[in-house]
Structure 1
């Protein structure tokens, strides 16, 4: 009997359910948002009556077998939703809509998330709006995190694996070496039972009878770079042709190796370096020599990078292990980690430059952006606003793109000749006479003779030197010829006959892979399939050959079709390398997939992984060449062979003669040197005081070297700057400046000014952290004090508390001065020379126009002049300078332009950054272990104010400069001179740069 209540019938449950519903309705509490309790009670009573009325009119439940009603989903009305919210909630709805539409980052200080929760909580339980807002909220929270995560911590995921695995941590095998090729398109059409003979296909639509130069004068270097990309991601296995033996990522496996064994053969296992002038990929030995040269350049860049990483040692990341570790196992492990961290990080940086060259030199040439001043580029790494386009998911190369990237039509005449000689060497007969079996036998023989150690191999008959490197002049010679060689044009009948057996092997390989047809490939990319052979190629002879070979356009095979396809005409911008129509579309999709799918170029491509320096070194700059960065690679590899502004390294993918026409049309011809590369001897360094003084005082035989740079930055009148030369004109300019600058109270006024400005800057820039007062003594005192000094001397437009209407802030003015100073006096890094000089000239023009306008105003006479003198006179110890200094220079006979560009600007620039640098070097010395013992004496002297203590402090400063200064001066020799310097004989010849 006790169990009876649990065994009641379904009908009684239904009745109980009805009763409970009614009771729930009867006891429902009024909403807190209703106008009044009395009014709410009336509404509730009406509502309950309506429910009871509908319940009484409802028919008996006959829809189900258990006698229960089938309840239909009901939702609250808009009226119910509105009754539940207030005016504040309406603002919340408005903010939610605006956030969804704009997709801008949310200002969480507005508490939008919390207000959304409040709004949703107020809405009725059966509200559609409540459900919708909940879904939006959940979607936003879900989308905030990747699912599954694609970036992990630890060396296993921080660095590239030798075989390319773990690029996608959840699918670690995706894109790894020695995995199967993917298939992009489904070969759905029925293939004819008998396909044309590959040799006949080659002879009829492939074979080159007459070389057709590229219509855009693209250089052989462009297709050399293409060859590196192709061999980086495609290596068909033998005999198993379904396997890709290299990774499907642009990870420079051609340089580093595509498995751990090959990678170990490339490494020295010391300081992160790889074996000099070597590369792992054996196949590239059989390609034109420029391929080997570029890989040597990448090799040198890697070794340069790891040297810099170790030298900088950012945040102690590459600190050498303690030499006193007693446990030999722990010591070995520590040194192995040190070497591996440098090697792997160096690889990330080198790959970063490789990718940026591919996107900003190579890809811009593909779409002809190199013929414009546009900075736009199709960079697949872009973060796409309001888009869920994935990135870093991995990549697997397909057999279709293996065929689509065979661009043999574009081989230059120079490389065609090289290939013919290589065939005679490896096969023993001319390439066009070699059979497929001849080719395979030659390849086996060639591979069998290949040394497993990359450092013992050579190419193009080059000889290694004692240190394992090749001679720069040999490498530069090969590179220069490739830059000057015009490549071939895409299209039918332009493949060198020497590659006949290679092409036959490619066609047979494609048939074994069962790849789709040309039209199926086009449909895959949503391109209209060809209906006639004339649509494939409008040349009647080519179309007729295709007709006889394939009978119907749908039967044209992918690879022969791509080769036979009519190339596009150049378009600026849009069509640069002028490929066939199908390849033009496919190659852009593949570029996006290759880059955007690679975790190391997207999610994990950042300064934390590459270091700040490495990230910057490999990065592009839109203000330089619209982002092109090949020059970084070339100038790091051959710093003594190319000028910093050489067109050969800044735009190598178009021949120089065509580049000159392009730059002339763009108004940039003057920005580059058009001279072929030539060797520049290393500087001659002189240290002994007597020798240094002798050279510096002999201006007739040892001229200053920065006159050209001064003229570049300041224009023609920069040549007239007093330090730009040693002529009588320059002597007169120095005399003019000295008369105007050095007044009777000069020393007193300068000392008084620096005392005042130092106290002022210390008061303004110091801050209290914990219990200690701190200041950045170099940035906020040393640099800025000299900026204030130069600005007061020459009436520069400095914005400060005293001059709130100035143009440039203290730090802006210092950066302008430092950039110009470095470009003129310390332009010693060829890889940074062009961007540095461009930025310096831009900064000088911006500052100079304002200064010249000021000088012209000061040069006016009468009432305006007196008014200016009264307003602009310095309110400090340099009151005799500023506008008065400018007027003295004008009184010397110089006009406003000459005063600005040959006197004020270059003098101020030579003054402030140099003094700021020396100040920091002095401070650095006296804070070092060696120098800090003198601080008590310096502090004591600083408390006194006598000529004697000033003299002693000056000597402390001079000694700090002598012991810790790095300033040097360059001179160009015009004579022969032999001196004894640091116990060795130094021979100086005309043209030598002496430091």
Structure 2
């Protein structure tokens, strides 16, 4: 709006340079008439009522009001005289005069502007020239513009224009009609894709007609070339053999393409003009294209899908790798709905109460199931679209081969009115032409070609060369009719299901691994497997039935120059000479023939990743943008209110992790016991591993990934009894802390692996003794107690606030618990904490806590959730290195001087209970014989990281208990705390230990080093080298878990 307002005053008004018209026809008064003279006679007075030519030295009565009235009277009198001088009007039927007023021009408007109006215009220009799209409403710019407009004369043209602009801007701030509405009907995807566009609910709905993108204007000859002849001469792989993909792309990319095309296209057998699936990327091959198909996929309980299956029957006739991807999405959906139910964000998925009447209870459970299912589908589709945009599309344009975070994301929020027509969430109708664009049969690998030939033998009992077109159609019809409607009852690649309905993970992973390693074919002429001859003939006949535009017409639609010569289509004489014979003129080459037989683009990094033919390369990007940007559920309605906070975060991408690629989330969620957190097979499955290694070596990232083939990772052994836990933790030879050492080495480098908690041998025992001697000095316990008694009241005073009444409030975890431990560690190890005492520090208390918490998680729990391990490490490494370098700089300074560096200026005031630590602690550690680098990375940093988050967690859990189930003890705890005696402190310690026992969630990981049997209560747990063992302290209670023991070895004071 500001831009348009600022230009209004720039318009030239030619009428300002002309005298007023004097024609009697319009009844205007001459500029020399009486009214003009009367008006001018009073215009010398200022608005204050003082004569401008003769200012007075004294203040008299204020006559401005009277004077204004006189002026108004004289102006009215002038109008009366002017009206009286008008001739009779003979131009209207009733003799009335035209009531139109002459509009004032720009020069007259400028006379009406005040100084503050000019300031308003200046602010408007400043706003428009600024970089922010947002307006600071506290500057009252809109209100000042209203004042400006209101001050213009009633006959001002500018006033009218500015009013129009203001109304237009206010109107444009809201959508008309709204693109989003409330209610389950609109918040959830419909099974058939309807209501994606709320106002036009049938756009993109399954069962509606294909759209036409390009008008076929060229008169095409009849008859056209025989489709079989076209295939045999310029399409068949028999004309030169298999041509491998020039960029070593994996068959997995084309499996994703197969899912996409079956997501958007399912031509009706009864009417080729109708698509029986929706025109949206809504994962209908998994969920189904109508309500009946969707119901067949659902368990109708807890929002889950039937395990390890998918809806689309047609994809059973594709290589198993396609189905394996859908099965991974199936597993991801079921993982999501379980998490949604467990988290139950804001009570959104609360199970119905048992005391409801039976009919209402059934309805409530049905809604509970549907809410979980539909929300789970939105979240799963969110991951699906991110895989398409961040993995699939990036590989198509070669962005996987460079260290760039840019991607073509159609969901980008554009500045309003920046490009008319680039709207979002308005729906989509798939066009018939794109049904042809996505038939990438030239890229089928040799492995999948052999699989297709074997499928022919299985169905027809003879070679594909001996199967007629009629036999093919009849056979495929019978096969579809014989396929059960219940997806769980269908055979999938001969794999066996377990009693729970799931397929064997080993079989699925074996198929996926082979698919990832499978080299795809190259785009272009003469590379379509001969086994697909009948399929290609049907495609050409279908295109002719749709009366599609020609290749050149299609190209011109996308702004591409048409092919003038046959050699422009394909530079190979063996191809273009045959095209010439078949079509006579380049303008007559059919769309599908041209799409298949054009030259393929040469790889370009980035720019061309999969080397498609030229026209396909341009058109698929337009289609990708349209499919995503037109989908309401990926744009206007893609937000936490629909997907939940957890759901949006779970499927979101991070440009700092793989430049945004997210495919690894799907692999590791589906197969956590096969794909390691950094497996190249999971992170970049769309390029064969050998090529990925070359790419990562060039980019300097080869060490970020594991290059081993996926294999079964032994499941974690959980030990839950006291005797079992003790037997593991006291046997250092059989059980090591390998996972801790890996995390330490990753964050801290080689010195990190020497941290005192990284092992159990003599070397690590010596390291623990060194830290113990430095840390536990005389009066250690008293110093710690006194310090916390000092820092906690300071933090309470700083962070408490009163919203009304007499009760203060505070975020006790963030601002007291976490911060107190940060201050403690910073005092002990002299960390660069920014505070009132140390304003030159680098980190605020909350920032430093986050850094130390990440260090703690990466070291001790980094592999608990494999799907989170890689991004957690990616986030943890740079912040750890930044902190470590600052600490190393300070320790190095201390080692050479008696001073400290500016970033860690002393904040050890004289009454600090830990004044003997900090610089002194650093010097004590240096005296042990360790160098500066070793001291920082093997002692200071890992110790600080181990203590802060752990202590904060423990206190938070204790607080949770005593504010909840243990709240009856609060009054006694309060009484004891005020006594300030040794006896009371001892009892308080036992209250603390009880809170830990009741609500603590603790445990320790170990890695088995030898074959051993653990006696875990009544169980015997067999462990072998490499097994991960988790010892849980949660399940090691007193004989009577709810019996408290606050007074052990103490008496109540």
TM-score bucket of the superposed structures, by smaller chain: over 0.9
Partner of 1:352: 382
Distance in 2 between residues matched to 1:580 and 1:413, nearest whole Å: 20
Partner of 2:258: 227
Cα 1:46–1:373 change in 2 (3 A) is farther
Q: 1:886 aligns with which of 918, 922, 927?
A: 922
Cα 1:96–1:289 change in 2 (3 A) is same
8 Å CA contact retained: 2:251, 2:445: yes
Partner of 1:901: 937
Per the TM alignment, residue 976 of structure 1 is displaced from its structure 2 partner at its CA by 2.4
Per the TM alignment, residue 984 of structure 1 is displaced from its structure 2 partner at its CA by 1.8
Which one is further off, 724-733 or 333-342? 724-733
Partner of 1:396: 429
Per the TM alignment, residue 938 of structure 1 is displaced from its structure 2 partner at its CA by 2.1
Partner of 1:292: 323
Partner of 2:610: 577
Per the TM alignment, residue 975 of structure 1 is displaced from its structure 2 partner at its CA by 2.0
Partner of 2:865: 829
Please give the per-residue CA displacement for 1:297-324, whole angstroms capped at 9, x wherever unaligned: 0000000000000000000000010011
Cα 1:77–1:45 change in 2 (3 A) is farther
Cα 1:643–1:809 change in 2 (3 A) is same
Which one is further off, 451-460 or 348-357? 451-460
Please give the per-residue CA displacement for 1:390-412, whole angstroms capped at 9, x wherever unaligned: 10000000100011111101111
Cα 1:177–1:747 change in 2 (3 A) is same
Distance in 2 between residues matched to 1:865 and 1:256, nearest whole Å: 64
Alignment of 1:415-430 (within 5 A): 415-430=448-463
Partner of 1:741: 775
8 Å CA contact retained: 1:856, 1:896: yes
8 Å CA contact retained: 2:723, 2:1015: no
Partner of 2:105: 77
Q: Could you list the runs of 5+ residues in structure 2 that have no partner in the other structure?
A: 1-23, 53-66, 1031-1053
Cα 1:427–1:70 change in 2 (3 A) is farther
Alignment of 1:796-875 (within 5 A): 796-827=831-862, 828-861=864-897, 864=899, 871=906, 873=908, 875=910
Per the TM alignment, residue 15 of structure 1 is displaced from its structure 2 partner at its CA by 11
8 Å CA contact retained: 1:858, 1:868: no
Per the TM alignment, residue 777 of structure 1 is displaced from its structure 2 partner at its CA by 1.8
Distance in 2 between residues matched to 1:825 and 1:364, nearest whole Å: 34
Per the TM alignment, residue 75 of structure 1 is displaced from its structure 2 partner at its CA by 3.1
8 Å CA contact retained: 1:81, 1:123: yes
Partner of 1:3: none
**2:753 pairs with 1:724:** no
RMSD: 2.8
Classify the secondary structure of the residue corresponding to 2:1021.
strand
**2:663 pairs with 1:635:** no
Please give the per-residue CA displacement for 1:255-301, whole angstroms capped at 9, x wherever unaligned: 11111111111111111111111111111100110111011100000
8 Å CA contact retained: 1:537, 1:565: yes
Classify the secondary structure of the residue corresponding to 2:1020.
strand
Alignment of 1:393-792 (within 5 A): 393-705=426-738, 706-771=740-805, 772-792=807-827
Partner of 2:396: 366
8 Å CA contact retained: 2:35, 2:79: no
Partner of 1:954: 989
Distance in 2 between residues matched to 1:635 and 1:138, nearest whole Å: 53
Q: 2:292 aligns with which of 261, 266, 291?
A: 261
Per the TM alignment, residue 869 of structure 1 is displaced from its structure 2 partner at its CA by 11
8 Å CA contact retained: 2:831, 2:904: no
Partner of 2:14: none
Classify the secondary structure of the residue corresponding to 1:769.
coil
Partner of 2:346: 315
Which one is further off, 837-846 or 959-968? 959-968
8 Å CA contact retained: 2:188, 2:375: yes
Cα 1:53–1:491 change in 2 (3 A) is farther
Per the TM alignment, residue 806 of structure 1 is displaced from its structure 2 partner at its CA by 0.9
Classify the secondary structure of the residue corresponding to 2:471.
helix
Q: 1:93 aligns with which of 121, 140, 151?
A: 121
8 Å CA contact retained: 1:874, 1:881: no
**2:151 pairs with 1:122:** yes
Q: 1:146 aligns with which of 158, 175, 182?
A: 175
Please give the per-residue CA displacement for 1:798-820, whole angstroms capped at 9, x wherever unaligned: 11122122110011011001111
Per the TM alignment, residue 462 of structure 1 is displaced from its structure 2 partner at its CA by 1.0
Please give the per-residue CA displacement for 1:748-797, whole angstroms capped at 9, x wherever unaligned: 11111111112222222222233322222222211111111111000000
Per the TM alignment, residue 435 of structure 1 is displaced from its structure 2 partner at its CA by 2.5
Per the TM alignment, residue 74 of structure 1 is displaced from its structure 2 partner at its CA by 4.2
Distance in 2 between residues matched to 1:869 and 1:305, nearest whole Å: 46
Cα 1:888–1:874 change in 2 (3 A) is farther
**2:950 pairs with 1:914:** yes
Per the TM alignment, residue 989 of structure 1 is displaced from its structure 2 partner at its CA by 2.0
Partner of 1:936: 971
Partner of 1:11: none
Distance in 2 between residues matched to 1:582 and 1:481, nearest whole Å: 31
Per the TM alignment, residue 961 of structure 1 is displaced from its structure 2 partner at its CA by 1.5
8 Å CA contact retained: 2:1005, 2:1028: yes
8 Å CA contact retained: 2:35, 2:75: no
8 Å CA contact retained: 1:34, 1:83: no
Per the TM alignment, residue 978 of structure 1 is displaced from its structure 2 partner at its CA by 2.0
Please give the per-residue CA displacement for 1:446-488, whole angstroms capped at 9, x wherever unaligned: 1111001011112111111110000000000111111111111
**2:232 pairs with 1:203:** yes
Q: 2:196 aligns with which of 167, 175, 187?
A: 167
Classify the secondary structure of the residue corresponding to 1:969.
strand
